[in-house]
Amino acid sequence: MVLVRVPILFNGEWIEQNDEYKFKGSKAKGIMIPRSTTYAELVDKIAEVIDIDTSEFEITMKFKLKTSDPMPPVTIQTNDDVEFFLEEVASGMEFRNPLCITFERRSISTVPVDRQPSPRLSWEESHAFSSYVPPSFPILSSNNFTEVNEFVTEVDCLDEPPLAVDLALGDNTPAPISSRTSNNGHVPRINLLASSSNLLATEVSGDTDVSMVKEVFESKEALQEKLKALAVKKRFQFKTPKSDKDLLVVVCMDDNCKWRLRASRLKGCNMFEIRKYYNVHTCSLDSQEKDNRQASSKLVGKNFRHKFDGASSTYKPADIMQDFQKEFGYEISYHKAWRAREFAMEMVRGSSADSYHLLPSYMAMVEKKNPGSRTFIEKDSANNFKYCFIAIGSSLRGFTSCIRPVIAVDGTFMRGKYKRTLFIATSLDGNNQLYPVAFGVGDSENDASWEWFFMKLRESIGDVPNLVFISDRHGSIKKAIDKVFPTVGRDLAMDACTLMTTWVEKQLKGKLDKSHTYPVIQINFHEFIVKDGDLDGHVDVLQKTCSCNEFQIDQFPCEHVVAVCKHMRTYSVYDLCAHYYSVNAWVTAYAESIYPVGPQEEWDVSEEVRAYVLSPPMKKREVGRPRTTRIPSQGEDIVHRKCSRCGLRGIID
């Protein structure tokens, strides 16, 4: 009987990328079937391999053809399709076509009433069919290691053929401790799981290697990851004497232990098959250490990636260290926990490099979803990211019509892989709330970065009358404003802490209560002197000025103006407030909505944007050793305190 070896992929889905179809499957198995297999026999065999009931689930089988031009996968629906597929598999020398399986639950109306579930094959029937069923090997669970079990269970009755055993643990029931011992009287090693009070024992079947059912993995890396997970759970360590593209050999770290595994690559594909596996640990419990070399940062990150599914990233490396020690009984270093956290975040949110590649398309979608938005990207000659700028259209229109023309600008460092700086431009609305105008990203707060940011800001807002900037004392900001906005005013942040009101009524009432005792001397119909017991105030109601300058800066009545309005009763304090403080202006500023760009799969951008090449910025190692203390802010006092134990003095942040 002519047999055909067929690899199987399932627990996945078909994905179309650039007119090319790919099947992403998380489990792999393999079967040996005759050339004369019919469609019904193949369906029954697949149902047995992946362990599903065909009366409840409908199986779909597809495979890809090796062609020069991309084409959709071929669906197997008839006996002729099965015959064609087996011919393709048998003739494929360079690559063995895998059979890709998907299944879905039948609706009540589609369940065949005259079909009973396919019976399981007996050993004689299975032997006549000459098939082998590799065990299910699921990807490591995202929240625990409990899906990892022994790769195989050695057979009690060696006169019967060995059967495949599924790797996934059905429950947490510990395996029974075998009463059999080896010829040398070896006592089976008992593994204590830190995550459970149960004792698990490794079965021992003697000193002789037992030929196991062949187990297939989609790659050598997948097999290695499973071995690492098994070692962490069963509390042992292994080393790899031999590893290349065709062979993998692992043995226990204890040279006197007989545990070992040997796997090799299948011809014509990248799948690995276990050839030999001796599931007996003869090493001493004294060989266990507080750390496990197989607990790599990648493995730890996979285990805790569910902690980063939400928007928050407060799960710290110290938390990973504590939880891993509590759950599995191993101590890991802070550096390994940090790398595990970075790996887990990348699995959940994607890599930083991919984000830079998507930035042009993201900018295009921002402009498309929010008309009037302004976005810019600057890159160097090597297509590496340099600067970017974003201003949402609704914010620009609200600022130019309803917000007082005072913009506060500042920059702050970003705690990411590429160490960029975030530039922000904000204002305050009539309710004293932050109103975003624009923001951007650059390399650092230097002259070139700030000048580029202000140039794009001017292109976005245009020429705004009476525009004023508020900033700290950074020299690059001053140079950029003088060059890009030479005619605007500028103020210092520490002198502008009361520029806008929180509630108009509350502010006016407070100023009225404070100024009700101020004497008012009338000079003429519109000029007054208000005695406040200090520098006094010279108020010109017609020009809307006061010698304290608060009236001009805030465009809101100061204490002296409020005193004049109370004294004369011909002027209303509300009429002297700028329209930016009115309810209508405040509502209009937020009348328009800001729309998200939506899922990436739904982005509709031009080919020109898709072809725009943008790479991450070049990483530069900072000169000197990393700082251990932060740089104090300007005006902040540095406290030197003396230790009561050692007598040394140090800086207290």
User: Cβ distance 227 to 250 under 8 Å?
Assistant: yes
**Residue 388: band (very low, low, confident or very high) from pLDDT cuts 50, 70, 90:** very high
Angle at 312 between CA 306 and CA 314, to 5 degrees: 90
Q: Report which of residues 84 and 170 the model is more confident about.
A: 84
Measured CA to CA, the distance from residue 511 to residue 554 in angstroms comes to 14
User: Cβ distance 37 to 46 under 8 Å?
Assistant: no
- Reported as a single tens digit per residue, the pLDDT across 569-627 is 778 777 788 878 778 888 888 889 999 999 888 999 999 998 998 988 887 666 677 67
Q: What percent of the chain has pLDDT over 70?
A: 75
Which residue from 622, 612, 620 is spatially nearest to 388, judged by alpha carbons?
612
Return the pLDDT at 636.
Answer: 63
If 0-12 CB within 10 Å is exposed, 13-18 middle and 19+ buried, where does residue 46 land? buried
Q: Report which of residues 250 and 640 the model is more confident about.
A: 250
pLDDT score of 170 more than 60: no
User: Cβ distance 303 to 294 under 8 Å?
Assistant: no
Euclidean distance between the first and the last CA atom of the chain, given in angstroms as a whole number = 81
Q: Which residue has the tokens 């005619």?
A: 487
633-643: b or e for each residue (b if 16 or more CB lie within 10 Å)?
eeeeeeeeeee
Return the pLDDT at 35.
Answer: 86
Measured CA to CA, the distance from residue 300 to residue 601 in angstroms comes to 30
Give every CB contact of residue 228 below 8 A, 6+ residues apart in sequence. Answer: 294, 295, 296, 299
**Residue 168: band (very low, low, confident or very high) from pLDDT cuts 50, 70, 90:** very low
Q: Which of helix, strand or coil describes residue 281?
A: coil
Give every CB contact of residue 242 below 8 A, 6+ residues apart in sequence. Answer: 248, 249
Measured CA to CA, the distance from residue 288 to residue 70 in angstroms comes to 53
**Residue 389: band (very low, low, confident or very high) from pLDDT cuts 50, 70, 90:** very high
| Helices (H) then strands (E): counts for the chain | 16, 25
Measured CA to CA, the distance from residue 424 to residue 389 in angstroms comes to 10
Return the pLDDT at 362.
Answer: 94
C-alpha torsion 174→175→178→179, nearest 10: 50
Give every CB contact of residue 401 below 8 A, 6+ residues apart in sequence. Answer: 588, 589
pLDDT score of 128 more than 60: no
User: Cβ distance 133 to 213 under 8 Å?
Assistant: yes
pLDDT score of 383 more than 50: yes
Overall average pLDDT of the 316-343 stretch: 88
- Reported as a single tens digit per residue, the pLDDT across 486-508 is 877 554 443 333 333 444 567 76
Measured CA to CA, the distance from residue 473 to residue 633 in angstroms comes to 11
Measured CA to CA, the distance from residue 197 to residue 421 in angstroms comes to 50
Overall average pLDDT of the 209-223 stretch: 70
Give every CB contact of residue 486 below 8 A, 6+ residues apart in sequence. Answer: none
Most confident of 40-44, 368-372, 552-556: 368-372
Q: Compute CA distances 595 → 116, 366, 372, whole Å.
A: 53, 8, 12
Query: Of the ranges 201-210, 258-267, 541-550, which one carries the lowest mean pLDDT score?
Result: 201-210
Overall average pLDDT of the 160-165 stretch: 31
Overall average pLDDT of the 313-337 stretch: 86
Neighbour tally for 147: CB within 10 Å: 17
Measured CA to CA, the distance from residue 322 to residue 316 in angstroms comes to 10
Measured CA to CA, the distance from residue 544 to residue 552 in angstroms comes to 7
Overall average pLDDT of the 135-141 stretch: 37
Most confident of 200-214, 366-380, 525-539: 366-380
Overall average pLDDT of the 45-67 stretch: 85
Return the pLDDT at 119.
Answer: 40
What is the gyration radius of the CA atoms in the chain, in angstroms? Answer: 36
User: Cβ distance 301 to 347 under 8 Å?
Assistant: yes
Q: Report which of residues 605 and 116 the model is more confident about.
A: 605
Measured CA to CA, the distance from residue 477 to residue 471 in angstroms comes to 8
pLDDT score of 384 more than 80: yes
User: Cβ distance 39 to 81 under 8 Å?
Assistant: yes
**Residue 276: band (very low, low, confident or very high) from pLDDT cuts 50, 70, 90:** confident
pLDDT score of 40 more than 60: yes
Neighbour tally for 549: CB within 10 Å: 11
Q: Report which of residues 463 and 18 the model is more confident about.
A: 463
Overall average pLDDT of the 638-645 stretch: 74
Measured CA to CA, the distance from residue 186 to residue 189 in angstroms comes to 9
Q: Report which of residues 489 and 153 the model is more confident about.
A: 489
Return the pLDDT at 203.
Answer: 26
Most confident of 71-75, 169-173, 435-439, 580-584: 435-439
Measured CA to CA, the distance from residue 178 to residue 180 in angstroms comes to 5
User: Cβ distance 555 to 545 under 8 Å?
Assistant: no
Phi, psi of 200 (to 5 degrees): -110, 140
pLDDT score of 288 more than 80: no
If 0-12 CB within 10 Å is exposed, 13-18 middle and 19+ buried, where does residue 242 land? exposed
User: Cβ distance 277 to 214 under 8 Å?
Assistant: no
Query: Of the ranges 351-355, 434-438, 556-560, 620-624, which one carries the lowest mean pLDDT score?
Result: 620-624
User: Cβ distance 210 to 146 under 8 Å?
Assistant: no
C-alpha torsion 561→566→569→571, nearest 10: 20
Return the pLDDT at 160.
Answer: 32
Which residue from 274, 296, 166, 329 is spatially nearest to 225, judged by alpha carbons?
296
pLDDT score of 371 more than 90: yes
User: Cβ distance 76 to 42 under 8 Å?
Assistant: yes
- Reported as a single tens digit per residue, the pLDDT across 186-210 is 333 333 222 322 222 222 223 323 3
Three-state SS string across 358-377, please?
HHHHHHHHHHHHCCCCEEEE
Overall average pLDDT of the 307-335 stretch: 82
Residue 472 identity: D
User: Cβ distance 272 to 223 under 8 Å?
Assistant: yes
Strands 238-243 and 99-105 turn out to be: unpaired
Neighbour tally for 442: CB within 10 Å: 23
Q: What is the mean pLDDT of the chain?
A: 75
User: Cβ distance 585 to 435 under 8 Å?
Assistant: no
Measured CA to CA, the distance from residue 300 to residue 317 in angstroms comes to 11
